[in-house]
Amino acid sequence: MPRYSITTFGCQMNVHDSERMHDVLRRAGYTEAGGPEEADVLVLNTCSVREKAEQKLRSEVGRLARWKRERADRVVVVAGCVAQQEGERLLKQMRAIDVVVGPDNIPELPGLLGDLALGGLPVARTVFDLDAPRFLVASPSPSTRGAPTAFVTIMKGCDERCSFCIVPYTRGPERYRASDEIVAEIAALVAAGTREITLLGQTVNSYRDPLGALPRAPGASADDPDESEFAALLRRIAADVPGLARLRYTSPHPRHLTPSLVLAHAELAVLPRHVHMPVQSGSDRVLRRMIRRYTRAEYVARTRALVEAVPGLTLSTDIIVGFPGETEDDFAATLSLVREVGFKGLFGFKYSRRPHTPALKLPDDVAEDVKGARLARLFEESEALLAAHLSGLVGTTQEVLVEGRDKERGAGRERGAGGALWSGRTGRHEIAHIEGAGELDLLGEVVEVSIARANKHSLQAELTEAARAAARQQPRGGADAGRPARRSLPVVAAEGG
Ligand code: 5AD
């Protein structure tokens, strides 16, 4: 039986696509190899959002040429956004590649590999499924069945035209999944033991039900062009899957952070108190050139409404530094926005020119060292905000969804994390390492902890006495024994301190 291995680069959508490739290959009779060295088929699921990510693929394929020479029947597949972007060209540029497959063509992968095995030529399939969009559901594998957290795709593609971004080119126009299908997938995951769902989409909150099956959400305006049906979908999921503990989503666009979505956050307990809301810049001049279609003041007003509706809600964001024409004043505006909003998490990137993007027409005129210095300054600011936030939580009580054992997840290596055995996330997405509970089976439980210390990027926590007593009474589950029947430990929603 041929063995395969998948290496994933890039965003959560790619991680999720890799799960679907695992599924498609397993169903076709392939088995997963222990690692790339043992594989017959090696899949690189690529990212092209920044040039660096694309360079990674090129150097990886260079290495693989040698790997291929060791055995004549070894196969290299390139999937994901570079595959979609470059298509046939990849086959010409890099002889080591046998199959190029776009994100919408994942189901065709076994067929393409089969043709190749019969002597077929290297092939590229990168066709968008515009007429009949498919949303593959990965059937649970031994490693994902009953996992505490799972992703569910609700839309794909992007109709925004942010001038820096290649995604509309690599993922095509927006296509939405029927709400009934979304709810059914979530219900099945929760029945199998999953506690937290993250809804995925390139502009996840522009969602509309293609079958028109959702009632208008409270607060939704009939004539606001930014109004989507995302809030209605959140309400439907909350009502139909009561066993779900947490419902997250990524990545939203600020344009669709409408009053109906704010109201959903105020009313639905299943929505945790953290939202990732990419802003990209704090300068109106730059935002206009980025074609983001909101002003700084609009971003501030919309996020402020959210925080007022859900006290204690934290925001994180994405920021690009060194966009064409960005001056020191523009960058200072970004720094001041970071302070004004008080982001508790920040992904920062140096602008990188991407093919097929409108910004190619603008000169990439901010020097590399200036971009580097601005990025360092930005991180300094965000690290300080995070440190203040985390140390402010010491002594408080929090609810943590336990996602795994530290040593399994490779977490807990942070200084001061010694002795921690379980780790997970608070409702606001802070990482928490739980000390001194190694003998208990906490996987997938929402437990009450008290925060003992703050690390640089995470928290050290201990179970409260009530949570410890409740956990002792909990029947121990085996690999997946008891998963569907799991109940939450008694928790209190209060946050002391
Ligand atoms: N250069 C730098 N960063 C980019 N991003 C998207 N395109 C580019 C680009 N050309 C960043 C944005 C986006 C995140 C996923 O990647 O901040 O939100």
Please provide the size of the chain in residues.
Answer: 497
* Per-residue pLDDT tens over the stretch 373-393: 999 999 999 999 999 999 999
Q: Which residue has the higher pLDDT, 474 or 329?
A: 329
Give the whole-angstrom CA distance, residue 196 versus residue 433. Answer: 18
Q: What is the pLDDT of residue 356?
A: 96
Whether the bond between 251 and the residue before it is cis, its omega within 30 degrees of 0, is yes
**Which residues sit in the known binding site?**
11, 47, 81, 158, 162, 165
Give the whole-angstrom CA distance, residue 153 versus residue 13. Answer: 8
pLDDT for 484 beyond 50: no
Where does 149-392 sit in CATH, by number? Answer: 3.80.30.20
Please give the distance, rounded to the nearest whole angstrom, from the Cα atom of residue 280 to the centre of ligand 1: 8
Question: Do the beta carbons of residue 395 and residue 496 sit within 8 Å?
Answer: yes
* Per-residue pLDDT tens over the stretch 180-225: 999 999 999 999 999 999 999 999 999 999 999 999 999 999 999 8
Banded pLDDT at 327 (limits 50, 70, 90): very high
Banded pLDDT at 481 (limits 50, 70, 90): very low
Please give the distance, rounded to the nearest whole angstrom, from the Cα atom of residue 170 to the centre of ligand 1: 14
Q: Which residue has the higher pLDDT, 71 or 196?
A: 196
Pick the residue whose CA is nearest to atom 13 on ligand 1: 318
Give the whole-angstrom CA distance, residue 124 versus residue 78. Answer: 9
Domain ranges of the chain: 3-127, 149-392, 397-472
Please give the distance, rounded to the nearest whole angstrom, from the Cα atom of residue 105 to the centre of ligand 1: 25
Q: What is the pLDDT of residue 1?
A: 85
Which residues of 257-308 form beta strands (DSSP E)? 274-276
Pick the residue whose CA is nearest to atom 5 on ligand 1: 49
Looking at every residue in the chain, the average pLDDT score rounds to 91
Banded pLDDT at 411 (limits 50, 70, 90): very low
CA-angle at 441, arms to 437 and 442, nearest 5° = 75
Please give the distance, rounded to the nearest whole angstrom, from the Cα atom of residue 395 to the centre of ligand 1: 37
Amino acid at 50: R
pLDDT for 483 beyond 80: no
Question: For residue 165, which atom of ligand 1 is closest to its CA?
Answer: 7
Name the residue among 307, 306, 154, 305 with its Cα closest to residue 233. 154
* Per-residue pLDDT tens over the stretch 128-178: 999 999 998 877 776 677 899 999 999 999 999 999 999 999 999 999 999
Q: Mutate which of 318, 319, 326 to test ligand 1's pocket (most atoms within 8 Å of Cβ)?
A: 318
Which residues of 261-313 form beta strands (DSSP E)? 274-276
Pick the residue whose CA is nearest to atom 7 on ligand 1: 165
Question: For residue 164, which atom of ligand 1 is closest to its CA?
Answer: 10
Please give the distance, rounded to the nearest whole angstrom, from the Cα atom of residue 419 to the centre of ligand 1: 37
Banded pLDDT at 475 (limits 50, 70, 90): low
pLDDT for 487 beyond 60: no
Domains 149-392 and 397-472 share a fold: no
Question: Do the beta carbons of residue 390 and residue 405 sit within 8 Å?
Answer: no
Q: Mutate which of 161, 162, 164 to test ligand 1's pocket (most atoms within 8 Å of Cβ)?
A: 164
Q: Mutate which of 161, 320, 375 to test ligand 1's pocket (most atoms within 8 Å of Cβ)?
A: 320
User: Which region among 41-55, 235-249, 352-366, 396-410 has the lowest average model confidence (pLDDT)?
Assistant: 396-410
CA distances from residue 130 to 17, 36, 105, 173, 175 in whole angstroms, order as listed: 18, 34, 12, 8, 8
- In the chain, % of residues over pLDDT 90: 84
Question: Do the beta carbons of residue 113 and residue 41 sit within 8 Å?
Answer: yes
* Per-residue pLDDT tens over the stretch 286-311: 999 999 999 999 999 999 999 999 99
Name the residue among 9, 8, 49, 13 with its Cα closest to residue 250. 13
Q: What is the pLDDT of residue 295?
A: 98
Question: For residue 166, which atom of ligand 1 is closest to its CA?
Answer: 7
Alpha helices in 71-178 (DSSP H): 80-86, 88-93, 109-117, 167-171
State mean pLDDT over 245-255.
98
Question: Do the beta carbons of residue 321 and residue 374 sit within 8 Å?
Answer: yes
Q: What's the pTM value of the predicted model, to 2 decimals?
A: 0.92
Question: Do the beta carbons of residue 233 and residue 182 sit within 8 Å?
Answer: yes
Q: Which two tokens stand for residue 243?
A: 């066993």
Please give the distance, rounded to the nearest whole angstrom, from the Cα atom of residue 248 to the centre of ligand 1: 21
Separation of CA 370 from chain center: 29
pLDDT for 405 beyond 60: yes
Q: Which residues line ligand 1 (CB under 6 A)?
A: 49-50, 164-165, 278, 280, 318, 320, 349, 351-352, 354
Q: Which two tokens stand for residue 357?
A: 């993007």
Please give the distance, rounded to the nearest whole angstrom, from the Cα atom of residue 279 to the centre of ligand 1: 11
Please give the distance, rounded to the nearest whole angstrom, from the Cα atom of residue 282 to the centre of ligand 1: 15
pLDDT for 282 beyond 50: yes
Please give the distance, rounded to the nearest whole angstrom, from the Cα atom of residue 165 to the centre of ligand 1: 6
Q: Mutate which of 15, 160, 349, 374 to test ligand 1's pocket (most atoms within 8 Å of Cβ)?
A: 349
Banded pLDDT at 407 (limits 50, 70, 90): low
Q: Which two tokens stand for residue 446?
A: 């929402």
Question: For residue 359, which atom of ligand 1 is closest to its CA?
Answer: 10
**Which residues sit in the known binding site for [4Fe-4S] cluster?**
11, 47, 81, 158, 162, 165
First-to-last CA distance in the chain? Answer: 58
The fold of 397-472 is OB fold (Dihydrolipoamide Acetyltransferase, E2P) (2.40.50)
Question: For residue 278, which atom of ligand 1 is closest to its CA?
Answer: 18
The fold of 3-127 is Rossmann fold (3.40.50)
Please give the distance, rounded to the nearest whole angstrom, from the Cα atom of residue 360 to the centre of ligand 1: 14
Question: For residue 350, which atom of ligand 1 is closest to its CA?
Answer: 2
Q: Mutate which of 14, 49, 276 to test ligand 1's pocket (most atoms within 8 Å of Cβ)?
A: 49
